[in-house]
Amino acid sequence: MQIPTIVGAGLIVIGAGLGIGRIGGSAMDAIARQPEASGKIQTAMLIAAALIEGIGFAALFAS
Amino acid sequence: MVISNKPLRFIIATLVACLPLISFANPEMDSVKVKTEVAHESAEAAHAEPTDVKSKIKEFINHHLLDSHDFTLSVNEETGEHYGVSLPIILWDNGLQVFLSSKFHHGEEIAEHNGNYYVLHHEKIYKTQADGELTEGENGFPTNVRPIDFSITKSVIGIMLVSLFMFLLFGSLAKSYSKNNGIASGVGRVFEPLVLYVRDEIAIPNIGEKNYKKYMSYLLTIFFFILFLNILGLMPLGFNVTGNIAITVSLAILTYIITTLTANKNYWGHIFWMPGVPTPMKFILAPIELLGTIIKPFSLMIRLYANMLAGHVVLMSIIGLMFIFKSWIGSTLSFGLAFALSILEILVAFLQAYIFTMLSALYFGAGNEEHHHDEAHH
């Protein structure tokens, strides 16, 4: 049985969503613990989120 | 409230905030016509109406996402009249062929120039015989010859506008420093903090105090170029420049070339002969690392393109929902949602410019890292 590529794209999007959610949640925790480091945490968070987002979009365009 | 003390400023701010909404005046205008058409049809066939509006909206969105050979602001569907300006078409087909895009009549007619006949099919120009017949290939694309197209398209106009704007803006900012004892004046004051932000938060932490200066011109240029083009995409004229893969490809290639050409020997050492790992591992890592240098700019390209494209599609689809629901509650909801999304899109415009600049700086920094002795011994 052949699975359509769109299903694979959907799975990747779910994974990317979970990943970005985790990054955001962890960043929230970190900022709550150390509010003075929020600037650095935000920068690192954005970079990590952007890298995962790239994979999500690549999957969407490959499907 | 502070705002209410300055009513004029409040009004101006409100107007500016509502500007993005005007950019969807076109679908509204088109669909009013659609609505009336559909209303006539629905008397006969109740099931025929949603597909018609849906396909019209889909067609409009697809047309917006493509680059176009003329600058059409609005179309009167009753008379078929297009309001806008024609742009020059420049083709290389046995010599330079220059004519105005009005010859195509928006893709409806065959353009004749110097004895050659051209047809505009889905914003691509094909050379045909005098009858304008397109022979279709196996995969659905016409097999006709495509002359090399150097036309000044809508995206090119957008890039020219932004370049001119940036040139005037930052030229005057630079001049105002010498005139005003080292203090910025005028509009430049708004942009001085952004320039400083790019330097202090993006360039110096990622590239390092020693090398950051030679990259500053490029980082500032791409930051403001992407930012202004993203904002231009939200404005009423209906540009979609950063949502066009050709533009993001060229930006990513520039980042790749600069990274490759300015990298020091440590960077290449880490790619071809990774220090600190067993020798067999070095042979495995070399192709992976080499592939990584290409994947990095590739992901830059996809990210900017897909983000802007997705933003435009989602916004226009939500506006389109208004004409599918056709009830006061659906229209109100989709208008409110579109307003909220427009504001989100402004955030995305800034974020994508920031991410592109940030990751470019990160790659430049990776190419300039000094050798750490302790790292190799661990």
DSSP conformation letters of B18-53: HHHHHTTHHHHHHHHHHHHHHHHHHHH-SSHHHHHH
Instruction: Determine, yes or no, domain membership for B67.
Output: no
Domain boundaries, chain A: 26-62
Best probe of the A interface among B309, B348, B351, B355, by most A CBs < 10 A, is B355
User: Would an 8 Å CB–CB cutoff place A53 in contact with chain B?
Assistant: yes
**B269 residue type, one letter:** G
Q: Which one of A53, A55, A60, A63 would you mutate to disrupt binding with B, by most B Cβ within 10 Å of its Cβ?
A: A53
Residue pair B108/B120 in contact (Cβ under 8 Å)? The answer is no
Average pLDDT of B249-257?
A: 94
Over range A33-47, report the average pLDDT.
Answer: 89
Report the pLDDT value the prediction gives residue B45, as an integer from 0 to 100: 44
pLDDT-above-70 percentage for chain A: 97
Number of H helices, E strands in chain A: 2, 0
Last residue of a domain, one of B152, B167, B199: B152
**B137 and B187 share one domain:** no
Which of B126, B152, B178 delimits the end of a domain? B152
Distance from CA of B307 to the nearest CA of A (A): 8
Task: Kindly determine whether residue B355 and residue A57, on different chains, have CB atoms separated by under 8 Å.
Answer: no
More confident: B316 or B253: B253
pTM value?
Answer: 0.79
Instruction: With respect to residue B209, please indicate whether it lies within any of the assigned structural domains.
Output: yes
- Residues of chain B found within 8 Å of residue A46, distances taken between Cβ atoms: 351, 354-355, 358
With a CB cutoff of 8 Å and minimum separation 6, the contacts of A62 are A5, A9
Q: How many folded domains does chain B comprise?
A: 2
For B75, half-sphere exposure in the C-beta direction (CA atoms, 13 angstrom radius) is 15
B358 interfaces chain A, CB cutoff of 8 Å = yes
Contacts of A54 in chain B (CB under 8 A): 299-300, 302-303
Q: Let me know if residue B30 belongs to a domain.
A: no
Q: Which domain holds residue B164?
A: 5-16+156-377
Select, from the ranges B40-54, B95-109, B145-159, B287-301, the one with the highest average predicted confidence (pLDDT): B287-301
How far, in Å, CA of B98 to CA of B207, rounded? Answer: 46
- pLDDT range class, residue B235, cuts 50, 70, 90: confident
Neighbours of B107 (CB within 10 A): 14
Q: Is residue B359 part of a domain?
A: yes
Specify the pLDDT at position B22. Answer: 47
Mind listing the pLDDT tens digit for each residue in B91-116? Answer: 887 778 788 877 777 767 777 777 77
> B187 and B144, same structural domain?
no
Q: Looking at chain A, how many residues does it have?
A: 63
Q: What pLDDT is attached to residue B2?
A: 47
